[in-house]
Structure 1
Amino acid sequence: MKFKNADRFRRRIAAMAPAARAEIQKALVEGGNEIAGMAKSFAPKKSGDLAASIGVTIGNYVTENANVRGVQATGGGHDLSVTIHAGDGRAFYAAFVEFGTAPHEVGGIFKGAQHPGSRAHPFFFPAFRLGKKRAKSRISRAVNKAAKKAATAS
């Protein structure tokens, strides 16, 4: 089978990749920052550590402790990966606030004491659910914009 203008088609596809990556990465970061901003505004502000721990990381994300949670959006490659995360060394309790805790026996210096548990105060996933559709739309627009640029480039 033969294609007319196959070389021109290949050039357009090759030109689209770098432009598309840049547009998609920008859209991922903007969407991530928007969701992280909402999560910060929803987070309880007792000390401010929890809200300060919420962030967006581009590329491979490595947690500094096991209690950090995140939601990752991956689009094929290191530079097209964004993680929105909550919790750090100071705000290790982010998941406890988000999901609550069951009644349990306390350890450490208060070993044996009964903790009544705590109610959940969701801040992370409500922000994610609110911002997800808008972020997806932003990424779709970025892909379309990149495709149009590549189509008119050569």
Structure 2
Amino acid sequence: MARGVKTAGRSALLRKLALLPEAARKEIAKAIDQSAEEIAAAQRRQAPKRTGALERSIVVSRDGAVPKYASVGRAGTTEKGDPDLSVIVSAGNDRVRYAHLVEFGTAPHENKGLFEGSHHPGTKPEPFFFPVYRAYRKRVKSRLTRATKKAARTVAASSGGGE
């Protein structure tokens, strides 16, 4: 743009652009929460149901508060991102410390402790956590893209006031 040229509505445009981050944050936060709850519900449906404890241990945590001893899904921490736009879906807690063993299975091994010397045949994996995450990943990305575009359209359409 050449010097000295005035753009009609420039200040209104700048005000709208300043509003975009907050509007986008609200829309994205709503989309993230909806997606996390949807994924957690699907993971609960997929979890093996012997006692129901594993199913009940699948939770959505906000503000970086992950249940102590959560053993699956802790990889995403809010230290890298915005705490308001971060959620962690996890399985396991202080009573259910075996979520990772169910998800990935165990290898045959010799027991120690109370049953020392006995042979454990291992267990087959019963994936319930990561397959659901992978199945929903594309849907979540699309939802976040739509939320961002919706926020941009809302801000663009709002009256920014004249000059």
Q: CA deviation at 1:69?
A: 3.0
Indicate the SS of the match to 2:60.
strand
Q: Deviations over 1:54-87 (max 9, x none)?
A: 1111221334026343363979411000111111
The one-letter code sitting in structure 2 at the alignment partner of 1:98 is E
Which of 21, 24, 29 aligns to 1:17? It is 21
For 2:12 and 2:54, the matched residues in 1 are separated by 52
Indicate the SS of the match to 2:131.
helix
The equivalences for 1:1-154 within 5 A come to 4=7, 5-65=9-69, 67-70=71-74, 72=76, 76-153=81-158, 154=160
Please provide the CA RMSD for this pair: 2.1
The one-letter code sitting in structure 1 at the alignment partner of 2:53 is D
Greater than 4 Å deviation, 4+ residue runs: 73-76
Q: Deviations over 1:7-57 (max 9, x none)?
A: 333211211111111110110011111111111000000010100011111
For 1:60 and 1:122, the matched residues in 2 are separated by 25
Q: CA deviation at 1:132?
A: 1.2
Q: Which blocks of at least 5 consecutive residues in structure 2 are unaligned?
A: none
For 1:141 and 1:73, the matched residues in 2 are separated by 24
Q: Which blocks of at least 5 consecutive residues in structure 1 are unaligned?
A: none
* TM-score, L = length of structure 1: 0.89
More helix by share: 1
Indicate the SS of the match to 1:60.
coil
Larger radius of gyration: 2
For 1:81 and 1:66, the matched residues in 2 are separated by 17
For 1:95 and 1:80, the matched residues in 2 are separated by 26
Using the aligned pairs only, state the percent identity: 44
The structure-2 alpha-carbon separation of the partners of 1:132 and 1:73, relative to structure 1 and needing over 3 Å to count, comes to: farther
